[in-house]
Amino acid sequence: MQVWDMRKTLDRSFPDGAELFAGLDDGTRRLLVRDPQPEWIDPMLATLTHDYFSADGWILERKLDGERMLSYCTGSEVTLLSRNRLRLTATYPEITDALSDGRAHDVVLDGEVVALVNGATDFNRLQQRFGINDADIARRSPIAVTYFIFDLLHLDGYDIRSLPLHVRKSLLQQCITFHGPLVYTEHRDRDGEAFLEEACRLRWEGLIAKRADSAYVSKRSPDWLKFKCSGEQELVVGGFTDPQRSRVGLGALLLGYYEGATLVYAGKVGTGFDTKTLLDLRARLDRLEQTTTPFSSPHRIRERGVHWVKPELVAQIGFSEWTPDGLLRHPRYLGLRDDKAARDVVREDRGA
């Protein structure tokens, strides 16, 4: 795969310090769009597939289990926003500081914030940083975070989303000093199946396969594909059951996903909780309780002691597979997510 050399003699036709474009050929330059840095760009999303492959023209990156975050950096100002536009600048002040320190370019970056334990991402650990809106408190947290940056969307007054991915990644390597919590997301361009086996041995979440010449589009796209090591996805909490025997808080969460405007029942999860989580969840769910079911097919729910809730909470769930009748097999609770709206949760293995 061709790698662009951006270190040629500077072309002064680009004002405002955009000298990194000097090495682009004429055809690629024509894809640049002169435009002020936007306040928001909807992120590009990957499509789940079980058809793993190696192919020319694709790159493979590590799939990360954390919080998607876009960074808007202009001058000394840095704004960090989650996938659903929650402000995270004070939640991750070490990342804010690193992006402010010595940066010579105005950029919009896309990446994932994670908590690493022995090289593997730990979403439960990362959750302990969620909801912190005081930078001083966040700095005292024992939970260290890492920002894996994998794309560059805007550079020095130019929208570069139409440039091929491999060009954007080359520019990314040059315009950011990667240090401290900032990590460039490395990639391979061959041996996809072998790389996936290696990723699973290392207890990674899987891989993301991306077309090397693809543009960045603000939607779910088949140009980005998820190769997962195990079943895992977000699901909406639509109810819960009473605890039994010595259990506290709740027995199980009742889960679903959206098909259009309809919340489809996907089964229950009763494992993966500790006592603190059970009590915290019950307190949150009690505030959302309602008298009617949010699910489209309540006859499939045969549990006792059911409480219905407004479908607002999104849980990360691990599982072995989907059953033929559309329920989760061997589900386990991994944590709550606040970076995705409930109405955006769909069943991923249908190519949604």
* Residue 154 region by backbone torsions, left for phi larger than 0, else alpha for psi between -120 and 50, else beta: beta
Q: Which of 63, 169, 226, 268 is catalytic?
A: 63
Quote the CA–CA distance of 144 and 166 in Å, as a whole number: 30
Rg of the Cα trace of the chain? 22
Q: Which two three-digit tokens encode residue 250?
A: 């709740």
Beta bridge pairs of residue 113? 67, 147
**Which 8-state DSSP code applies to residue 25?**
-
**Which 8-state DSSP code applies to residue 281?**
H
Contact assessment for residue 320 and residue 231, using Cβ atoms and an 8 Å cutoff: yes
Is residue 63 part of the annotated active site? The answer reads yes
Helix (H) or strand (E) holding 58: strand 58-63
CA 132 to chain centre: 19
Contact assessment for residue 167 and residue 153, using Cβ atoms and an 8 Å cutoff: no
Q: How many residues does the chain have?
A: 352
Give CA separation, 300 vs 293, 314, 330, 335, in Å.
Answer: 12, 21, 18, 25
**Most distant pair of Cα atoms in the chain: their distance:** 74
| Residues noted as catalytic | 63
